[in-house]
Amino acid sequence: MDRPSGVRFPVPHKKVSLDIKGNKTDVVICSYNDHFLVIVTQIGAMGTILHARKEEGVSTHPTFSVSVIFGKRDEPMLEACARQLIENISCSSSSKPLVLSLGLKDHSVETLKGIVSAVIESRLCFTVLQISRVGCVLLESRFSDEFDIQAFVRGFCRLLGLSSCFSDTKTALEHY
């Protein structure tokens, strides 16, 4: 069945291949409505699968919970990797949980740091730009690995003398 052209597949994904300590590493990041999925593999399989999420709470400092749902349950480095990623991808409004799969040849600190930085560089982000308080332009950037798009948009706003720039839709809507 033909779909209307220009209709995007609802789950954007990004695939990256990199070298970490001599091991070819494939990374796939998918963004579902209510979850992020990150697959990191050096062994041709998903390996250990972890689930990480931000806890709902009243305190100002968010807490995160990480658990292994499949595979090695005695590797603290894997949990630390998941924790770093969920802390990084969660912001005040968006708190999608993360499913992380790590199929690695080694669990050294260097490898896991390499993975965390590769994923953070590739994360999906959305930016809302307000213009003259009349309307707002949704500047959608799905892949921010070429440059820091949020810094770019803020600089752009300052140049034009715009009054506000919000980094996510929810905060922008709350402003009104």
If binding is defined by CB under 8 A, does position 46 make contact with another protein? yes
H helix count then E strand count, the chain: 4, 9
Binding another protein by CB under 8 A: which of 16, 80, 125, 131?
16
For the chain, give the number of residues.
176
Give me the residue label for tokens 């809302």: 128
Candidates 30-38, 83-91, 132-140, 160-168; binding stretch for another protein (CB under 8 A): 30-38
| Helices 109-121, 76-89: inter-axial angle, 10-degree rounding | 20
Residues in contact with another protein, counted by CB under 8 A, come to a total of: 48
Query: What is the spatial distance between Cα 18 and Cα 26, in angstroms, rounded to a whole number?
Result: 6
Binding another protein by CB under 8 A: which of 86, 114, 128, 172?
114
Residues 51-110 binding another protein (CB under 8 A) are 51, 69-70, 99, 101, 103, 110
If binding is defined by CB under 8 A, does position 147 make contact with another protein? no
